[in-house]
Structure 1
Amino acid sequence: MDPLAEAGMRDLVPAVIGILVSRGADFAAAEDAVQDALVEALQTWPADPPRDRRGWLVTVAWRKFLDSVRAEDSRSRREERVAAYETAEDDAAGHVATADDTLELYFLCAHPDLSPSSAVALTLRAVGGLTTKQIAEAYMVPEATMGQRISRAKRTLAGRRLNRPGDLRSVLATLYLVFNEGHSGDIDLVAEAIRLTRRLRTMTADAEVSGLLALMLLHHARRASRFDEDDRLIALADQDRTRWDTSLIAEGVGILQAALARDELGEYQAQAAIAALHADARGVEDTDWVQIVEWYDELLGLKDTAVIRLNRAVAVGEADGAAAGLAELRSLDDSLPRYFAVEAHLRERAGETERAAALYARAAERAGSLAERDHLNRQAARVRAARRRPGERG
């Protein structure tokens, strides 16, 4: 099936789940039935596409749901339950899923009782319309492992109806987790996160939804420049900015400006503002670090975390000099991820090359990925090589 057609089919999933739930199915059973219907659609639609795709999915998913009810009950109870569901179907025959139905699915999948990994997996299944196999491949884990994760999540939500307000902040955090996975392949989680956030933005006027979408677009615009032809990580300062996607940057900035104009500042808008300042600079030397520090101050007022303070120390070091950045760094715990990488950068800027090289190597030992480890080891080697050159500080 054409990728665009398949993506369009996945867009129908939340509405179809919402219709089944409105007829009396619980979330877990409805989601299972819709997934089974999707598998059948993938097999039959390329040769015989229906005129009403959503109607087809509703009909087939409801039939599969009723089949599961018949299979799991004893005959004495089966007829009563099936009759009740068929009555519900008659009562809901005219139901058309609304944006609110889909929004409630976002809320349910980001339920506080779920672990972040389970919330992400369930969101990709129920809201994104992906199969367990597709999600497993995107996360590079066995299909059985992902299936167990999704099953546990659905058991946690067993019996819960879509009848209580959800936490939009949890939904946004879940979507940001999907985005930050960043894997590419048949299912690109970055693109999927952007797609789902775009859809969410059509359902709610919350400024932070726009802020998150702007943040995603601005980061995604730099994607082509983050790795070289040998798949080696390239730091922001060394990226070829001519490879940045200017159309995504323009869209992200436009969305951000509209959100900021509403004067409802949130953490995603502040992060997007920092990303926009990086995107606006033609070269690293043109970056407005003073304004970036100001935005980090705004961000700390909204969400004071050690990671944000670590990133702010980098900005302070660029705006006010390495000594000022190191002074900010001293207030933080060196067990923080990237602490030694940040200290190495600031020590190098201060001219302490020998110490910087040792810190880059130490940071590499704690790197969270092979690409990051390779990058930090290359930084250590670069600084050591520079120290050995005639005329360089030794």
Structure 2
Amino acid sequence: MSNAPRSASVRRYWGPADASCSILHVDMDAFFAAVEIADDPHLRGKKLIVGGRERSVVLAASYEARGNGVHSAMPMAAARRLCPDATIVAPRMERYREVSRQVMAILHDITPVVEQVSVDEAYLDVTSVRKHWADVESMARAIRERVSEQLSITCSVGVGPSKLIAKLASTHSKPNGLLVIPAESKIEFVQALPVKALPGVGDRTAEILHSRGIDTVRELSATNPDALRYWLGVTGSLLFDLSWARDLRPVEPSRVEQSIGAERTFAQDLVASAELDRHLVDLAHRVAAQLRDKEFAATSVTVKVKSSTMAVVSRSRSLPAPSDRGGDIVEVARKLLRAAREGGAAVRLIGLRAEGLRSARAVGRQGTLDELQPGSIVDCTDSPARSFAVPPASTDVDDGPAKALDHSVDAIDRSIEALDRVRRRFGGGALAPASSILHKGK
């Protein structure tokens, strides 16, 4: 979902799709809220907000709630004030990821060249499949119809000669719309927009440009590019190119995620180390489950802490070896949390991110004989089985320890696979390590 400013004047007919219009941008409309409504039709037509407790942020809002000024990333306290009669539901991330996979499957039925950029949006390059369709608009309409009919949610589609134009077109066709921008109209279209509509223009950049009398893309395009570079550095050069609709980025179907993370904002600031550790363990295992689901292994971990004074501190450290195991991540994350809590400050938010992702199949995982001695007890923190004894070594000194290692690591792997199957079916909170669910003081 995009919060970029929209200009009503550009939501019009710009001409038929020409031969250059081979890039589509598909963006779900109020995705999380739409999934909740699809699953519970009683929510349809209501002012719906998807978010956590008072001190969290809005993850999604129905268009009825947006009419009251509610938008994503807004603090929940502010959203409640703006829309006191809203229905608020807790987020179900596993469900949203499941629907996202179904959306992407529909897109892959159109073309194999799909670049997913988030859980609810993707770019398509339809160059190789255009001959199978009457025109590119037919493809866009087919996508919208299939998403609506199969999943009971809606999406907006932008069609253009580049990723920039397709993205801006989908943003300005929301909700549940289709906008085509042919190559001959792309410059006029872009320059009719406010400068904040361009990717890369946040509040700070917009302030700098505004202080120099630049509020529209057309004004930006007429500015000396050397001056833009002086004011904004490399960003100035990029924005100048965008103001003239210059964008040569290809659709990259093999786009690799750079990190996977999760975070939690607390209803009350936490000071007790045991409580923080409980939440950290839960986040680590949730991240580990996502790594396994996407067949990644992480090489480093970052922990972010926001204190009661709103100061944010992040600390990172490499893992001893690439891993997708919650226990490995927890071991490093605990050290990072201690380092990030300056003076034991009260904590408002804690986040954990697995980074430096590699293919789990390429990395593999090899235990060591030092880890598994005959007769020892293995604590399987990722497994509902919890622990087991390593079988005694064979009397054959050549293969006894190796067989014990193979059997033990295989048992751990099977337990983790069983845990992941339960989580996928019943939700991420169905099973969790005991250390992440013990009540305070227990």
TM-score (norm: length of structure 1): 0.26
- The structure showing larger relative contact order (alpha-carbon pairs under 8 Å, at least 6 residues apart) is 2
Q: Which has the higher strand share?
A: 2
TM-score (norm 2): 0.24
The structure carrying a bigger helix percent of its residues is 1
